């Protein structure tokens, strides 16, 4: 199983993504508020393609990436997914506007 952590601008967005993931082989799903001191982590969008679709936000902090849009990442969703459903899970996260830590 692979562990995935995704970042969202609201609890509702994270819960909505978690609901969409229920059709896949996932377990240990948990939505949590991001601690204030971790909101400065560098993030990039999830992408189901080989290259990042939106490089403008690559490497920006939560506040830098979303400050101009009036939002910041405040919640995370973490879960384990079976290898066979990994790509489908990334697609769900991408559709829900999730971000991930810079790799």
pLDDT in tens, 21-58: 999 999 999 999 988 776 666 666 776 654 444 444 44
DSSP per-residue letters across 31-62: EEEPPGGGTTSEEEE--SSSS-S-GGGTTEEH
Measured between alpha carbons, how far is 36 from 25 in angstroms, rounded to an integer? 31
pLDDT in tens, 57-88: 444 454 455 444 445 788 999 999 999 999 99
Domain ranges in the chain are 2-101
- Specify whether the backbone of 97 is left (phi greater than 0), alpha (psi in -120 to 50) or beta: left
């Amino acid at each position: 199983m692979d562990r995935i952590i995704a970042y969202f601008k609201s609890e509702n967005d994270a819960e909505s993504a978690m609901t969409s993931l229920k059709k896949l082989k996932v377990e240990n799903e948990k939505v949590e508020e991001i601690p204030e001191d971790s909101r400065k982590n560098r993030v990039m969008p999830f992408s189901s393609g080989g290259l990042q679709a939106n490089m403008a936000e690559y490497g920006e902090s939560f506040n830098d990436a979303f400050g101009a849009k009036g939002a910041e990442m405040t919640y995370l969703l973490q879960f384990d997914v079976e290898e066979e459903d990994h790509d489908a899970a990334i697609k769900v996260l991408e559709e829900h506007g999730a971000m991930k830590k810079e790799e």
